[in-house]
Amino acid sequence: MALARQDTNVKRRDASGPGQAERFPIVSMVLLALTFIGMMISIWMIFLYAPTDAIEGDAQRIFYFHLPSAIIGMLSLGIVALGGIVYLWKKDERWDWVARAAAELGTVFLTFALITGSIWGRTTWGTWWTWDARLTTTLILWFIYIGYLMLRSYMGRTPASARAGAVLAIIGLIDVPIIYESVNWWRTLHPQAVLPLGSSPQLPLEMLLTLVVAFITFTLLFSFLMVQLYQLEKMQTLAQQLRASVE
Amino acid sequence: MIFFEQVIAILWKDIRYELRSKQMWAGMGLFALLVLVIFNFAFDLRVDNRAAVAPGALWVSFVFASMLGLGRTIAAEREKGSMDRLLLCPVDRKAIYLAKLLGNMLFIGVVEIVALPIFAALFNVPLLLGPLLPIVLLGTLGIAAVGTLFSAMAAATRARELLLPILVFPLIVPIVIAAVRATGTLMVPVSNEPPWLGLMVAFDVIFLSISMLTFQYIVEE
Amino acid sequence: MKTPLLAIAGLKKSFDLKSVLRGIDLVVESGERVALVGANGAGKTTLLRILACLTEPSSGSARIDGWDIVRDAQQVRRLVGFVAHQPYLYDELTALENLLFFGKMYAVKDARERTEDLLRRVGLEKRARERAGVLSRGQVQRLSLARALLHAPRLLLLDEPDTGLDEEGLRLIEDVLAEHSAQGGAVLFTTHQLDRAMKLGDSLLMLSRGRLVFQEKTAGLELERMRQEYQEVFR
């Protein structure tokens, strides 16, 4: 990440020479192709195939962007925590690369989800924001991500930084359901406009299909970007190592 | 058991450090007080309004005072030699964490004891010390459990005063909600209230355990 | 064959952008006193810190009395006494309180008695109730030595113990080292003074830019020749 301090404390891996960079990035190309196809199909389905919502009108289509990105953004924290746990256990920095990549992506997806959710709320129900359990938890999760990125940035590229990040992610992950429940309980005392964000009773088949396709597309996009970010982390670390070896 | 002896030994050392350096106490107590006074002016307090706002005001001031106090026990180590003095010894890192946690709770507790009577006077609410005590205890424990762990993390960075609240606030949301609601229910009993105390206990148990177990990864180089 | 007290193999350490230790191999037996010399930044302090389990190596291994410094760190800490550049003492506690505290941390038996003995040994019994923060540099150094000896470690690590000490203090260090090695412990100390290194140590090691470039028993070495060697290495 551009913000990270350029420190590192890593083992030198003399084996990974220039040969590796020459390999054709087949995984990335495949993911990119699939993502592109998925996007094309999704856009067609979202704007043309899916029927217009009776109550909300065309603005409802934001939902197909909002829900998948929200869910993926949240699940990404699980990946950060997983990467962190395995890193603590095996001390293999590659798992830290996974964690960092997932954290950045999770933040981006979640930001997108918050913005689209807000726009949807505004166009449909007239408010930019409401403190229901789901939205509030999403916002808090977003803060946890930002905290993670700030922490990693301030602590630089060291094992201490990786360990701190891992612990933060683990605690964050366990806390999220608790946060959700507590806000839920709190909400039962403050009934406000309940936005049926994604909890619509029965989605007609076309809508459901569109949603599924959109979800798959976002997942493909996430995977593609994960691979890119992982490679970026790897190269940044290698650059540090090379700089260190020129002593 | 040697483990608890070590916890007490470290705690006692930290207490002596604070007593002999005479730094933080007055500042924190005063701060909590000031926040309460400001809240008094900020909210237009009519009788019915007061009960709704008072618990929130109280806990916000506690949370902010905690942020100030949380750095203390860790700072006691970081000056001149960092935690190496302790880490050099074969003392269980969990014992170090517990000692720091108890120290933090003690310091925050002193501030709370000062703030509570003033709170009752300012907001004209009954003190209700008895039933309030478990709520304050559980709430402070929850904030301190998470806060102690993260203050160790943030202490290594330049922007620790900024980073600590950013990391801790989102995570302590459940405990703050529960504490505010539980305090509110004391003042104005409501039926069908969710089991806030139970939530606080669960939160404390879970995060105390996790923090204790993960502390060593944060603090060792 | 008996396990050596200290066995280091291929030890490497890098920090941030710098590679500090580039592969150290060393074996130290019980009763041995090893003098380590090197320029500032050669890696002496880092090596001692790793052996004291304050920081982990980037690769390689070290075993103290058979215990691995990474896997069995808590066990190793019991066996190692470290007198570092920083005194590792609490300024606001008295000398006595400091030692009692560390006695608790090391789970030392009969801590009270042992503390009083050590304070006498290092010549601080009159200053027992003074805060560590008001003691002189030399007194702090002695207290730090007492702290390191509190738990009867097998391996004593001393980082430039001669700085800040007067004649009497230096003699104290010599006595302590002699006692320690006579009782079967081992000592690894660093110094800038070549003559002291050769006087106090059984072996002389030279560390240059993270590597051991010289390793020999001091018996039979000539000071003048060593001085030249030293200059060569650190030019």
- Per the CB < 8 A criterion, the answer to whether A42 and A64 are in contact is yes
Element (H, E) at B23: none
Q: Which of the two residues, C52 and B154, has the higher pLDDT score?
A: C52
How close C18 gets to chain A, by Cα (Å)?
Answer: 5
Least confident of A167-176, B36-45, C46-55: B36-45
Q: Which of the two residues, B102 and A237, has the higher pLDDT score?
A: B102
pLDDT given at position A190: 60
DSSP classification of residue C29: -
Domain positions in chain C: 6-233
A131 part of contact set with chain B, CB < 8 Å: no
Beta-bridge partners for C22: C12
- Per the CB < 8 A criterion, the answer to whether C50 and C56 are in contact is yes
Q: What are the strands of the beta sheet with C67-68, ordered from one edge? A: C18-28, C6-15, C59-64, C67-68
- Per the CB < 8 A criterion, the answer to whether B204 and B138 are in contact is yes
* Chains with at least 3 CB pairs less than 8 angstroms from chain B: A, C
Q: State whether C17 and A8 contact (CB < 8 Å).
A: yes
How close C124 gets to chain A, by Cα (Å)?
Answer: 39
Q: State whether B166 and A188 contact (CB < 8 Å).
A: no
The closest of A134, A183, A190 to B190, measured between CA atoms, is: A190
CA dihedral C136→C137→C139→C143, nearest 10 degrees, is: 130
The torsion angles phi and psi of C167, rounded to 5 degrees, stand at -50, -45
Model confidence at C4: pLDDT above 50: yes
Instruction: Tell me which of A167, A173, A179 to substitute to probe the interface with B (most B C-beta atoms closer than 10 Å).
Output: A167
- Per the CB < 8 A criterion, the answer to whether B9 and C101 are in contact is yes
Reported residue count of chain C is: 235
Model confidence at A15: pLDDT above 50: no
Reported residue count of chain B is: 221
ipTM value = 0.88
- Per the CB < 8 A criterion, the answer to whether A188 and B194 are in contact is yes
Beta-bridge partners for C156: C81, C187
Model confidence at C66: pLDDT above 70: yes
Pairwise CA distance, residues C94 & C109, whole Å: 20
* Residue appearing with tokens 């505004």: A122
Model confidence at B44: pLDDT above 60: no
Q: How many CB atoms lie within 10 A of CB C4?
A: 18
Model confidence at A7: pLDDT above 70: no
Looking at beta carbons, which residues of chain C come within 8 Å of A163? none
Model confidence at C7: pLDDT above 60: yes
- Per the CB < 8 A criterion, the answer to whether C16 and C170 are in contact is no
Q: Which residue of B has its CA nearest to A156?
A: B157
Distances (CA, A) of B201 to B137, B150, B206, B208, B209: 10, 20, 9, 10, 12
> What are A102's two structure tokens?
């997932």
Domain positions in chain B: 2-219
pLDDT given at position A49: 78
A184-217: pLDDT as tens digits: 888 876 655 455 554 555 677 878 888 888 999 9
Pairwise CA distance, residues B156 & B217, whole Å: 13
pLDDT given at position B73: 64
Q: Which of the two residues, A44 and A54, has the higher pLDDT score?
A: A44
Residues 148-167 of A with CB under 8 A from B: 150-151, 154-155, 160, 163-164, 166-167
Q: State whether B221 and C55 contact (CB < 8 Å).
A: yes
- Smallest Cβ–Cβ distance between A7 and the set C16, C19, C58 belongs to C16
Return mean pLDDT, chain C.
88
C78-136: pLDDT as tens digits: 999 999 988 899 988 999 999 999 999 999 999 999 999 999 999 999 989 999 989 99
Q: State whether C15 and A10 contact (CB < 8 Å).
A: no
The torsion angles phi and psi of A95, rounded to 5 degrees, stand at -70, -30
Pairwise CA distance, residues A182 & B180, whole Å: 12
Q: State whether A186 and B221 contact (CB < 8 Å).
A: no
pLDDT given at position A60: 77
Read off the pLDDT band of A3 (50, 70, 90).
very low
Q: State whether A185 and B217 contact (CB < 8 Å).
A: no
> What are A236's two structure tokens?
């940044």
CA dihedral A177→A182→A186→A192, nearest 10 degrees, is: -10
Question: Average of pLDDT values for B150-173?
Answer: 85
CA dihedral C51→C54→C56→C61, nearest 10 degrees, is: 20
- Per the CB < 8 A criterion, the answer to whether A139 and A205 are in contact is no
pLDDT given at position A193: 47
| pTM metric for this prediction | 0.87
Least confident of B14-18, B20-24, C197-201, C207-211: B20-24
**According to DSSP H, which parts of chain A are helical?**
26-44, 62-90, 93-125, 133-155, 159-187, 205-245
Model confidence at A36: pLDDT above 50: yes
Q: Which of the two residues, B200 and A133, has the higher pLDDT score?
A: B200
Model confidence at B46: pLDDT above 60: no
Model confidence at B201: pLDDT above 90: yes
Q: How far is CA B15 from the centre of its chain?
A: 16
Q: Which of the two residues, A137 and B113, has the higher pLDDT score?
A: A137
> What are B124's two structure tokens?
């004209």
C19 part of contact set with chain A, CB < 8 Å: yes
pLDDT given at position A26: 87
Note the CATH architecture for domain C6-233. Answer: 3-Layer(aba) Sandwich (3.40)
pLDDT given at position B81: 46
Looking at beta carbons, which residues of chain A come within 8 Å of C19? 12, 244-245, 247
pLDDT given at position B43: 61
C158-184: pLDDT as tens digits: 999 888 788 888 889 889 999 998 998
B116-144: pLDDT as tens digits: 887 777 777 776 677 888 999 999 999 99
Instruction: Tell me which of C104, C134, C159 to substitute to probe the interface with B (most B C-beta atoms closer than 10 Å).
Output: C104
Looking at beta carbons, which residues of chain C come within 8 Å of A6? 17
The closest of C194, C176, C174 to C185, measured between CA atoms, is: C176
A78-132: pLDDT as tens digits: 999 999 999 999 888 899 999 999 999 999 999 999 999 888 888 877 888 888 8
Model confidence at B154: pLDDT above 70: yes
